[in-house]
Structure 1
Amino acid sequence: MKKLSLLLASVLLVSSLTVACSANNSQGSEKQSGKTESSSKNESASVLVGIKGPLLSLDPANYRDRLTESVLRNVFDGLVTADEKGVIRPAIAESWENTSPTEWVFKLRKDVKFHDGTALKAEDVKFTFDRILKENGIDGKTSPRKGLLEGVKEVQVVNDYTVKFVLSSPWPILITMLPLQQIIPKAYAEKVGDKGLAEKPIGAGPFKLVKAKLDERIEMVRFDDYYGGAPKIKNLAFDVIPEASSRVGALKTGEVQRIHDLSASLAKTLISDPAVDVKTVEGTRVYMLEMNVQKPPFDNIKVRQAMNHAINMDIIIDKILYNYATRLAGPMLSNAFALDTSLKPYEYNPAKAKELLAEAGYPKGFQVVIDSDANNKEVAEAVAAQLRDSGVEASTRVWDPGVLKPMLLKGERQMFMGDWGNSTLDPFDFLNPKFITKDRGNYSMYSNPRVDELLKQGSQEIDNEKRKAIYKEAQQIIYKDAPWVFGFSKKEVEAGVKALQGWNPTPDGSLYMSKVSVGK
């Protein structure tokens, strides 16, 4: 904490010596004599945000990590963006048209500049996407984000401010996936190479990167020529503070002004603090227990259904999550596209669970280890206690995610208490990786040929009503097969000091800071 205080003090000192720059460009330049005390304060203000972990990369095409994306969204912009309700809005692209089932045309704004002052044009867009789509296109490796562009065949330059996306087959969710891809300058990237770009990236977002140590601090400064209007604050930094209680402590002492990823219990302790605002929004991450369906005892459908009856998710949501969560009947979020609302949560019924276990050949239960990371430890322990009441000898083990993931992908674990994001709210971005046979997030080892067929159909069907029918059938099969103990979605809970204004948590956890100001 002392280190953070000294760093903050140094930033504020430098900021106070900096000549004030113009305020929000979208509102026009104010005359010096017309500035208020508040606007003058904001022009040199510094804001620090406490984040839970390190960034994986500064290269916007070389990671698959929500936290990294949440921070880098302040440096880079995409063709389109999603607002706080998930609605797609123009960004670098001012308009677009789906000219045929396999072609989309985007018109670019003509006032967008990169942080080095160069104009953003169609060649930059094409270069950005070519780099992601090309096998081994980034320092000899394939972009981890290529899977987010599954339906894209190529990007073509029509003219300086028009690009065309050509799809390999109809892919109705292209526009939904594009906020996840951030545009970089071709000339700069070619000059410095992949390693140079990752060390000193240049984007077209509201803040310019100053310097970064991925596991400690990422420092930025306002980009006055941002096409969306210059941010109101001058300096922005993200400090890595892994322990949630330490982030709360840093907020209370004023060492940081905003923190994210609050647990329900910590949120309760802050609500009564008059110096702090606690804000929530419905999240886009599903929490569940995945069972390895390829190994006993979870290769038996009755055992998997018994697990759903043996666990009281409502009690967990009430007593552990303090109702900062929403119960899910099946695999999908409660506000996702094509949700099958006819599905109802499995009834908590320990007697039914024991009956099913006996029918499956486990009248005396069995032993199981529930694996989790630190963030899901408390829920995993509550689940284990409930399972013991149903005759299942359950214990828990907490892992580092980097160690556990390879074992999950190899099918080496029994039961996993985990989570998976679905920021687009589209089934393609969630059901496909979690349930298609041997896909990248299928930790339950689930394999059903009909589900594979349906999910592939759904990713290509352009008629929304037909897509809904396809995905509803898939949900019904998954619900009955029960490869998971279906769980819940958490609210995104964040906190900030009262003086920090213009911020709100977003469903996908993005830490947007371009509209933030500092009041009294």
Structure 2
Amino acid sequence: MANGLVILQSQVGLTDPHVVNDNADSLNILNNLFEPLVQRTRDGFRPCLARSWHVGEDARTWEFALRAGVKFHDGTTLTAEDVVASLERARSPDVGGVLGTEGLFHGYLGAAVIAIVDRHAVRLVTAEPMADVLDLIASIPILPAAAMGAVLENPVGSGPYRLHDDAGRTVTMVAHGDHWQSRPPAFDRLAWKVESNPAQRLRQLQLGEADIVTGVSHEMGLCMEADERTRLRTAPSNVCTVFMCNLLQGVCTDTRVRQALNYGFDQSLLIDRVTHGSALPLAGPLTVKHTGHDPAVAPYPHDPGKARALLAEAGWSQGMSLVLDVPLELPDEAVELASFLAQQYAHIGIETEIATHADRPVYAQQVKAKAIHDACCFDSSPISTFRALREKFHGGLKGPWWLGYGNESLDRNLNLAQATVDPDRRRQLYRSAYRTLHADAPWIYLYNQLDRWGLSPRLADWQPTVDGLIFIA
């Protein structure tokens, strides 16, 4: 393409923009077609379709002032009616989800009042304080109200590119000439193509037939770094790869056992062997990209002696049995992780059984139903600290991925954060929660995987978005 880009992914295809989905290949495409009211940055949020916003001291009342003159791909102009219709559709209980995310926006915004203030302003009043509501708003694309009935057949957004053709294995976009930023995108056309073979993705990049490739393995990355025809971009993901412990029943109800499970394996060796060094060690349930992550908290060191002492203190001096649930994909290395832990735990008197699950959607529902053994492998992906901590650890709420953790002090901390408008104070509250969750060890903390992209030389300065997606402006 003379002034176009070719992007190779393992899958392409248009998905419903209001279905909660953490598949990067799908989100990359949506990210260039649609826009939300606000966009996440490394330091917070910036205006997008909303030129400004205000939240009341009650942390419940939000008003969004819309940009004037924003044109959708069909030529219609953005109004408050479009925003309300989009928020209403996103929070509808009838909108599905992927891998257990159905009903997510309904759970947070189902009881909120969404109203038109005037043609260019919208008010959102949540049922309870929700100081992090922008975490949700940034994930809801705005569509024309009239286009809601055909979001897949005829997707209409306001992003820098509009859909030209969906041919199954290739999705083509062309520049949106009336984009509100008043300057044309850097490229006239984007072609998103399916190439499931990683070696072929690399080969096409080397031959100049592609400009961005996703899903770059460790081996592919080494080839790219040694080849002047390619560039490698690496960045931390927002995914925590962990084993979530069953705190409702079984051996992991004892904090000392969970701490022993964290002391009982060599985290650095695991990262080297399983990811070839392509990950950062976790010390808690948040990555370096999350608000509230505390770099002063060190990961659990490998200390078999301390692990054995904790197990003995918990009444397991003569040995203990552990059953780990693992899916066969997402994370794809789950079985390898469980096998590594089993080998390491044998040295501290733990006999480990591995239960594998071939159907990933069923596995997600099983975890959501709390129907697991002692611990289950999971890749926790929300970049929202508010969502990650509320859905997984708040004992009063018992969210979708909560597995029995109970700490009234942490619940009060999270409730206070939810009602605290000041972002710096809220960050400190989340840091306090992070330190508590490090010490209580409701999860076996493994790593934060690094994402990789292959680039052509003309995109040497390209960077992913803060949530690890492709966006071409």
TM exceeding 0.5: yes
Secondary structure at 1:287 match in 2: strand
Unaligned runs of 5+ in 2: none
Q: 1:510 to 1:341 in 2, by over 3 A?
A: closer
Q: Which amino acid letter does the alignment assign opposite residue 321 of structure 2? A: F
Q: How does 1:437-452 map to 2 (within 5 A)?
A: 437=395, 438-442=398-402, 444-452=403-411
Structure 1 residue 368 and structure 2 residue 328: aligned?
A: no
2:188 is equivalent to residue 234 of structure 1: yes
Shift in CA distance, 213/145, structure 1 to aligned 2, threshold 3 Å = farther
Correspondence for 2:387: 429
User: Is 1:209 the equivalent of 2:163?
Assistant: yes
User: Residue 269 of structure 2 aligns to which amino acid in structure 1?
Assistant: I
How far apart are the structure 1 equivalents of 2:107 and 2:202?
34
Q: Out of 166, 178, 196, which is 1:225 matched to?
A: 178
Structure 1 279/152 Cα, relative in aligned 2: closer, same or farther at 3 Å?
farther
Distance apart, 1:76 and its partner CA: 0.3
- CA–CA distance in 1 between the matches of 2:401 and 2:51? 34
What residue identity is the alignment partner of 1:219? T
1:342-491 equivalences under 5 Å are 343-362=297-316, 363-374=318-329, 375-377=332-334, 378-394=336-352, 396=354, 397=356, 399-414=358-373, 415-424=375-384, 427-437=385-395, 438-442=398-402, 444-464=403-423, 466-468=425-427, 470-491=429-450
Q: Measured at CA, do residues 261 and 445 of structure 1 come closer, stay the same or move farther in structure 2, by a change above 3 Å?
A: farther
* Contact 2:72–2:78 (CA under 8 A) maintained in structure 1: yes
TM-score, reference length from structure 2: 0.86
1:181 aligned to 126, 136, 140, which one? 140
- The one-letter code matched in structure 2 to 1:419 is D
In the TM superposition, what is the alpha-carbon distance from 1:175 to its structure 2 partner?
3.1
Work out which of the residue numbers 138, 141, 153 in structure 1 matches 2:112. 153
C-alpha displacement of 1:184: 0.3
Letter in 1 for 2:34: F
Amino acid of the residue matched to residue 358 of structure 1? A
Q: Quick one: structure 1 residues 350 and 465, their matched pair in 2 at CA, closer, same or farther if it must change by over 3 Å? A: same
The alpha carbon displacement at 1:52 in A equals 3.6
For residue 34 of structure 1, what is the aligned residue in structure 2? none
* Corresponding residue to 1:96 among 48, 53, 60: 53
SS of the equivalent of 1:456 reads helix
Q: Which of these two proteins has the greater Rg computed from alpha carbons?
A: 1
Q: Residue 291 of structure 2 contacts residue 430 of structure 2 at CA under 8 Å; is this kept in 1?
A: no
Contact 2:93 2:106 survives alignment (8 Å): no
- SS at 2:446 equivalent: strand
Q: Summarize the Cα distance change of 1:241–1:301 in structure 2 as closer, same or farther, 3 Å threshold.
A: farther
Residue 63 (structure 1) aligned to one of 10, 15, 20: 20
Partner of 1:125: 83
Kindly, what percent of the aligned residue pairs are identical?
Answer: 26
Does the alignment pair 1:326 with 2:280? yes
Report if aligned partners of 2:383, 2:467 keep a CA contact under 8 Å in 1.
yes
Counterpart in the other structure of 1:36: none
Q: Is 1:112 matched up with 2:70?
A: yes
1:431 is paired with a residue of what secondary structure? helix
Q: Which amino acid aligns with 1:61?
A: H
Judge conservation of contact 1:51–1:259 (CA < 8 Å) in 2: yes
Q: In structure 1, list runs of 5 or more residues that go unmatched.
A: 1-11, 13-40, 515-520
Aligned partners of 2:351, 2:200: CA distance in 1, in Å? 35
Distance in 1, Cα, partners of 2:138 & 2:81:
19
